[in-house]
Amino acid sequence: MADGSREWWRDAVIYQIYPRSFQDSDGDGVGDLPGITRRLGHVADLGADAIWLSPFFASPDKDMGYDVSDYTAVNPLFGTMADFDALVAEAHRLGLRVIIDQVLSHTSDQHPWFVESRRDRTNPKADWYVWADPRPDGTPPTNWLSVFGGPAWTFDARRRQYYLHNFLAAQPDLNFHNPAVVDALLDAMRFWLERGVDGFRLDTVNFYVHDHRLRDNPPAPWTEFPPNPYEAQEHRFSKTQDENLAILQRMRALTDRYGDIMMVGEVGEAARQIDIMALYSSGGDKLHMAYSFEFLSPDHSAAHFRSRIERFLKAAPDGWPCWSFSNHDVVRHVSRWTPPGGDTDVVARQSIALLCSFPGTLGIYQGEELGQTETDIAFHELRDLGYIAFWPELKGRDGCRTPMVWEADAPHGGFTTGTPWLPVKPPQQARAVDRQKGRAGSVLETYRAVLAFRRATPALRLGTTGFLDLPEPLLGILRQGPGGAVAALFNLSDRPAVLTTRGGLPAGPCHAAFEGTEARGTLRLPAHGWAWLAGPAPPSAQPSR
């Protein structure tokens, strides 16, 4: 499917599908692979280039599929291998690449590898997981903490040792210091490459290798103790080890043998996220690109966006970033960024223009093209139990994982004929696809127009990047490439702003997505307004006084 002239992923728009919440085809209330296949036309019509499928592998579902019990089997909850093959075929027919999750840092405790490993200290897989003796007083080997609360170690009475788990106790960490483990994981990746996938999203890619000497993590600087103690440590030894680079190089060598394949890694770290992204995607011998949680946070300032992009471009001039505002792990961005009482649809329309002005590959999470908001999940409705110990300060991730809504007047938004695994509530159902499709100015049609303009504008897809010096809350991004330049201007506040402009004004398709007014070189941006100023020479702007 490569066009022979460039690597397809460099200017791609990747649409993340959360399988259990996209479309149910059999009435059991859980989305599945045939349901995804049925709705792929929506993704293609939106203007995406690829889909990323969150895990659909065999799993006891203690962490919604991120606890894999067989890397090369489909969870019957989602369908069969034949269903997966049919999905890939239909995606390729529509011109969509298929990227699948690879959860390699840990497995389920029901994976046959772990069942064997925990049997005793001498079996063939005894060293496939991270085992360590207790301290003399019986406490865990290190002070490392689990992301989900408590120690990152669980004692096993059979081996009389602790095993490491950075997440749930049901998700033991694999031992990447053992070459046989890496070989087995590469075999699993090879299995899916042979089935025609176009790339991998690598879960928690910086968690693979732990400090072999098992040294304690130092405290992280904080002014107020965080709601999750995990954030009180600097994870110097429990992850992001230098030895991780050799693992990524082996993965790259494998994917390079299959042609135009892409790997994007998730960097999970509170500090140094951009630096790790840069390190892991530079040099042409590791990841093709990486993403982090920098833009998945509540921070919505011009300084934040600019500083992170500039830092990456400086640290990795030959690297490649991937940016997104929402995914299955965080509160939806329109709920994070809209001021109390504000218009979430206005923020949603601005957000896609903002994302499309960034250099790199772009990620869209299912439902954000509808302006979908975070669902208010009651305690008795919880399905994601990873963060239950921190309720209600941390409410878990169910609120961003509720089902996709297709038809406003159908039960459960047309997602299922049964009882959905998470509720479809009125605020979400009101944003159904059929309510927005073809309606000028809707969030859905704005996404389509903006993505189409980006596709038609080389400067936005692959151009160089600079910034205009504007004060908060104004952000100005300058993209230059073949065919001209574009200045992307954003008012990130809930108050109008006025700028003086010089250079070309939006024309053609850009008008469909332009949210501002211009008169005699003065650009008026409403609350959360934005504009693209395009021309053969770099446009400029400055605040009006």
Domain that holds residue 482: 463-543
Of 266, 269, 294, 398, which one is the catalytic site residue? 266
DSSP state string for 233-259 = B--TTTS--TTHHHHHHHHHHHHHTTS
Q: What is the pLDDT of residues 448-468, one digit of tens each?
A: 999 999 999 999 999 999 999
pLDDT below 70 — which residues of the chain?
A: 1-5, 502-520, 537-541, 543-545
Instruction: Identify whether 147 is part of a domain.
Output: no
Whether 530 and 348 have beta carbons less than 8 Å apart is answered as no
Q: Count Cβ neighbours within 10 Å for each residue of 264-300 and write b for 16 or more, e otherwise.
A: bbbbbbeebbbbbbbbbbbeeebbbbbbbbbbbbeeb
Of 203, 269, 294, 345, which one is the catalytic site residue? 203
Same domain for 29 and 90? Answer: yes
Q: Which helix (H) or strand (E) holds 83?
A: helix 81-93
Q: What pLDDT, on the 0 to 100 scale, is given for residue 538? A: 64
Same domain for 429 and 487? Answer: no
Mean of the per-residue pLDDT values for the chain? Answer: 94
Whether 369 and 443 have beta carbons less than 8 Å apart is answered as yes
Q: Give the Cα separation of 452 and 544 in Å (integer).
A: 31
> At which of 416, 451, 486 does a domain end?
451
Q: Give the Cα separation of 172 and 63 in Å (integer).
A: 12
Instruction: Identify whether 317 is part of a domain.
Output: yes
- My answer on whether omega of the bond before 458 falls inside 30° of 0, hence cis, is no
Q: Which residue has the tokens 């089935």?
A: 195
Q: Give the Cα separation of 291 and 308 in Å (integer).
A: 12
Active site residue 67: no
Same domain for 378 and 474? Answer: no
Q: Is the pTM of this model over 0.85?
A: yes
As for how many domains the chain has, the answer is 2
Whether 396 and 47 have beta carbons less than 8 Å apart is answered as no
Q: Give the Cα separation of 287 and 282 in Å (integer).
A: 8
Of 174, 2, 199, the closest CA to residue 88 belongs to: 199
* CATH code, 286: 3.20.20.80
Same domain for 357 and 476? Answer: no
Q: Give the Cα separation of 535 and 507 in Å (integer).
A: 9
Same domain for 472 and 441? Answer: no
Same domain for 399 and 524? Answer: no
Q: Which residue has the tokens 């992923």?
A: 9
Q: What is the pLDDT of residues 189-233, one digit of tens each?
A: 999 999 999 999 999 999 999 999 999 999 999 999 999 999 999
Q: Give the Cα separation of 342 and 526 in Å (integer).
A: 13
Instruction: Identify whether 399 is part of a domain.
Output: yes
Instruction: Identify whether 353 is part of a domain.
Output: yes
Instruction: Identify whether 158 is part of a domain.
Output: no
Same domain for 315 and 417? Answer: yes
Whether 435 and 48 have beta carbons less than 8 Å apart is answered as no
Instruction: Identify whether 112 is part of a domain.
Output: no
Instruction: Identify whether 185 is part of a domain.
Output: yes
> At which of 419, 451, 483 does a domain end?
451
Same domain for 494 and 420? Answer: no
Q: Give the Cα separation of 478 and 350 in Å (integer).
A: 17
Same domain for 379 and 475? Answer: no
Same domain for 419 and 502? Answer: no
Find residue 488's DSSP bridge partners. 477, 532
Active site residue 266: yes
* CATH code, 520: 2.60.40.1180
> At which of 451, 476, 504 does a domain end?
451
Same domain for 498 and 427? Answer: no
Q: Which residue has the tokens 């471009």?
A: 313
Query: Helical H runs in 316-432?
Result: 333-337, 344-356, 426-429
User: What values do phi and psi take at 264, rounded to 5?
Assistant: -120, 130
Q: What is the pLDDT of residues 78-104, one digit of tens each?
A: 999 999 999 999 999 999 999 999 999
DSSP state string for 475-539 = EEEEEEETTEEEEEEEE-SSS-EEEEEES----GGGGGG-BSEEETTEEEE-TT-EEEEEESS--
- Position 519, amino acid: A
Same domain for 81 and 22? Answer: yes
Instruction: Identify whether 366 is part of a domain.
Output: yes
